[in-house]
């Protein structure tokens, strides 16, 4: 390992050094400052005689005499099952005062793409206990389903609720016979969140005993921004190891992707790259895809990686590059809504712009229930119609609307206040969710249920409910 004292330029998070032997692209670098601190970085560009290095901890304290060591390998994550229950910093070093980590393996954090031929299509229903998700935007194992939120909205509460409640119903019934192969683990990757938010997560993990089956990676708001580009990769490498080597069903929560993208932009600007939309680098789609695509199932392997990334949309604008590119890669999105939040709906999920692309294959007879798809479609259509009518009511008043229209308005109101509203501690089974759905749909006349199979209407439609509405 050769040491150099040849730094020629320091700019933002980047250091340029002259070298006399070839250095590999993406190789890890250690820089020792005159004060004796060791900083870590990564080779961003390597040419004959000159390399540019991105320093994770920031370049503070580095001067021309700092010594630069090239470790001759790309960044690796030491992995072992013993990581469960541990809290690490954004670079993967333990910060919980526990023992040193003795790795079973050291795995490259960049990760290789899963061969699409080797994937198994995800279609195992995960019950989150949240009606707006289970009923309307079902999550399945191996999916990547982000939460699109805004500043000040309770996305953390929702993420925690999902982490607490997520189960796969059939397996519970089957009992203990395959307990070994299908344990559940949570990987939490925090990027640039505040200490307070971090405490919120940690306290909840400790309160519910979830910490034992979790690995926490913490990059806080005052930690170096560049480190944020590494944190999610460490988290996902750990997740892949636990899932595909050790057979765990891993739920990865990454928060907040917006901070991650800001870090990408910062590095791009320091390298004087040609910027893309709103100053974000042109390769952001590829970069984000390299995170999100590390979710899924592999044929013949027990475990799975399910991702719930959280991002706060700047200005609640879903056309902003961060949510926009994310939406093009992920398999749907759960959208939090400011209006619903101010009405006190918990969780304030707006189902209309929300979507789960893998829902159709994860629900139905034998998976959830035969009427699930139709009920969900019908509720979407009815809620959308009710929403439209609200604008009209503001102008002409309720009296000017027909009886049919009034029913749709009532439906939309009750949908929000009874179906979506449930609080962060309530855990509803899919049965309860669907029955609740029928309670609400029965407010509408039978003929208006044009998305539901006639036989199902016969079985589930509640005549009493319809009559009660009639009597009102």
Map the footprint of other proteins across residues 84-143, applying CB under 8 A.
108, 110-122, 142-143
**Which residues from 401-440 bind other proteins, rule CB under 8 A?**
401-402, 405
181 binds other proteins (CB under 8 A): no
Smaller CB separation from other proteins, 156 or 307? 307
Residue 244 exposure: Cα atoms within 13 Å on the Cβ side: 22
Query: C-beta of 87: minimal distance to other proteins in Å?
Result: 28
Residue 391 as a binder of other proteins (CB under 8 A): the answer is yes
Q: Which of 40, 69, 357, 462 binds other proteins (CB under 8 A)?
A: 357
Q: How far is the CB of 327 from other proteins (least distance, A)?
A: 4
Nearest distance from residue 121's CB to other proteins, in Å? 5
Out of 1, 102, 274, 471, the residue judged to bind other proteins by CB under 8 A: 274
| The 3-state secondary structure of 218-286, one letter per residue | EEECCCCCHHHHCHHHHHHHHHHHHHHHCCCEEEEEEECHHHHHHHHHHHHHHCCCCECHHHCECCHHH
* Residue 44 is a binding residue for other proteins (CB under 8 A): yes
CA distance 417 to 308: 25
Q: Which one of the spans 156-164, 206-214, 307-315, 392-400 is the region binding other proteins (CB under 8 A)?
A: 392-400
Beta-carbon contacts of 254 under 8 Å, excluding residues fewer than 6 positions away, are: 189, 191, 232, 235, 260, 291, 307, 308, 309, 310
Q: In whole angstroms, what is the distance from residue 52 CA to residue 46 CA?
A: 7
Q: How far is the CB of 220 from other proteins (least distance, A)?
A: 28
Binding segment for other proteins among 352-360, 412-420, 433-441, 459-467 (CB under 8 A)? Answer: 352-360
**Least distance (Å) between residue 235 CB and other proteins:** 16
Can residue 311 be called a binding residue for other proteins (CB under 8 A)?
Answer: no
Stretch binding other proteins (CB under 8 A), from 226-234, 247-255, 394-402, 433-441: 394-402
Contact 315, 309 (CB under 8 A): no
Concatenated DSSP letters of 319-351: TSHHHHHHHHHSSEEEEE-HHHHHTT-SS-EEE
Cα distances (angstroms) measured from residue 20 to each of 28, 47, 62: 17, 11, 21
Nearer to other proteins, 64 or 277 (CB): 277
Separation CA 243–CA 238 (nearest Å): 9
Q: Three-state SS for 451?
A: coil
- Residues 238-267 binding other proteins (CB under 8 A) are 244
If binding is defined by CB under 8 A, does position 198 make contact with other proteins?
no
In the numeric block, which tokens belong to residue 221? Answer: 């708001």
8 A C-beta contact, residue 157 and residue 459: no
**Which of 5, 11, 22, 170 touches other proteins (CB under 8 A)?**
22
| 140: β partners | 125
Instruction: Round to whole Å and give the CA distance between 372 and 436.
Output: 12
Beta bridge partners, 17, equal 7, 51
Stretch that binds other proteins, among 32-40, 272-280, 412-420, 424-432 (CB under 8 A): 272-280
Of residues 20, 102, 450, 458, which one binds other proteins by CB under 8 A? Answer: 450
Residue where the block lists tokens 């299509």 = 121
The b/e string for 145-157 (b: 16+ C-beta within 10 A; e otherwise) is bbbbbbeebbbbb
Write down the least CB distance from residue 125 to other proteins, Å.
15
| Choices 174-182, 218-226, 269-277, 429-437; region in contact with other proteins by CB under 8 A | 269-277
Q: How far is the CB of 35 from other proteins (least distance, A)?
A: 30
Contact segment (CB under 8 A) with other proteins among 250-258, 326-334, 337-345, 460-468 equals 326-334
- What three-state secondary structure class fits 366? coil
Residue 377 binding other proteins, by CB under 8 A: yes
Q: Which stretch binds other proteins (CB under 8 A): 54-62, 206-214, 297-305, 418-426?
A: 297-305
Kindly indicate which of the ranges 29-37, 84-92, 378-386, 464-472 contains the residues binding other proteins, using the contact rule CB under 8 A. Answer: 378-386
Contact between 454 and other proteins by CB under 8 A: the answer reads: yes
The whole-angstrom separation of Cα 230 and Cα 54 is: 11
**Phi then psi dihedrals of residue 191, to 5 deg:** -125, 110
Nearest approach in angstroms of CB 281 to other proteins is: 8
- Using CB under 8 A, count the residues that bind other proteins: 86
By CB under 8 A, residue 1 contacts other proteins: no
CB of 306 to other proteins, least distance (A): 12
| Minimum CB distance to other proteins, residue 251 (Å) | 17
Instruction: Work out whether 20 is an interface residue with other proteins (CB under 8 A).
Output: no
The nearer residue to other proteins, 23 or 218, going by C-beta atoms, is 23
Using only C-alpha atoms, the chain has a radius of gyration, in whole angstroms, of: 25
- Report the SS3 class of residue 305: strand
Question: Among residues 45, 105, 178, 179, which is the contact residue for other proteins, using CB under 8 A?
Answer: 45
């Amino acid at each position: 390992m050769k040491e150099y004292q040849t730094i020629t330029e320091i700019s933002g998070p980047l250091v340029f050094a002259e070298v006399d032997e070839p250095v590999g692209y993406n190789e890890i670098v250690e820089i020792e400052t005159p004060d004796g601190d060791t900083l870590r970085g990564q080779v961003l560009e390597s040419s004959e005689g000159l390399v540019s290095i991105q320093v994770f901890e920031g370049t503070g304290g580095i001067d021309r005499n700092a010594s630069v060591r090239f470790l001759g390998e790309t960044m690796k994550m030491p992995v072992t099952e013993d990581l469960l229950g541990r809290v690490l910093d954004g670079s993967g070093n333990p910060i919980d005062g526990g023992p040193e980590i003795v790795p079973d393996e050291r795995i490259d954090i960049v990760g290789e793409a899963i061969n699409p031929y080797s994937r198994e299509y995800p279609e195992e229903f995960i019950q989150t206990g949240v009606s707006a998700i289970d009923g309307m935007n079902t999550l399945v194992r191996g999916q990547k389903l982000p939460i699109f939120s805004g500043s000040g909205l309770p996305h953390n509460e929702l993420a925690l609720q999902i982490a607490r409640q997520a189960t796969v119903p059939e397996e519970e019934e089957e009992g203990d016979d395959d307990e070994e192969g299908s344990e559940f683990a949570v990987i939490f990757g925090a990027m640039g969140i505040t200490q307070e938010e971090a405490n919120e997560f940690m306290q909840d993990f400790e309160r519910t005993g979830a910490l034992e089956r979790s690995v926490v990676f913490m990059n806080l708001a005052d930690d170096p921004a560049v480190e944020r580009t590494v944190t999610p990769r460490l988290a996902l490498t750990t997740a892949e190891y636990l899932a595909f080597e050790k057979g765990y069903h891993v739920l990865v929560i990454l928060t907040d992707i917006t901070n991650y993208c800001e870090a990408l932009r910062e590095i791009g600007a320091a390298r004087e790259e040609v910027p893309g939309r709103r100053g974000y680098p042109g390769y952001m789609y590829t970069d984000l895809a390299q995170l999100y695509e590390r979710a899924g199932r592999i044929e013949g392997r027990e475990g799975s990686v399910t991702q719930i990334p959280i991002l706060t949309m700047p200005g609640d604008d879903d056309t902003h590059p961060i949510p926009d590119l994310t939406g093009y890669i992920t398999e749907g999105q759960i959208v939090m809504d400011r209006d619903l939040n101010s009405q006190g709906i918990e969780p304030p999920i707006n189902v209309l712009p929300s979507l789960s692309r893998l829902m159709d294959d994860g629900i139905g007879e034998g998976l959830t229930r035969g009427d699930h798809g139709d009920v969900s479609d019908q509720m979407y259509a009815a809620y959308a119609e009710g929403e439209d009518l609200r604008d009209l009511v503001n102008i002409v008043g309720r009296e000017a609307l027909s009886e049919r229209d009034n029913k749709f308005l009532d439906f939309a109101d009750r949908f929000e206040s009874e179906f979506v509203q449930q609080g962060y501690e309530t855990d509803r089974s899919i049965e309860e969710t669907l029955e609740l759905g029928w309670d609400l749909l029965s407010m509408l006349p039978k003929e208006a249920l044009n998305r539901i199979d006639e036989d199902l209407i016969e079985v589930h439609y509640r005549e009493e409910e319809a009559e009660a509405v009639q009597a009102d």
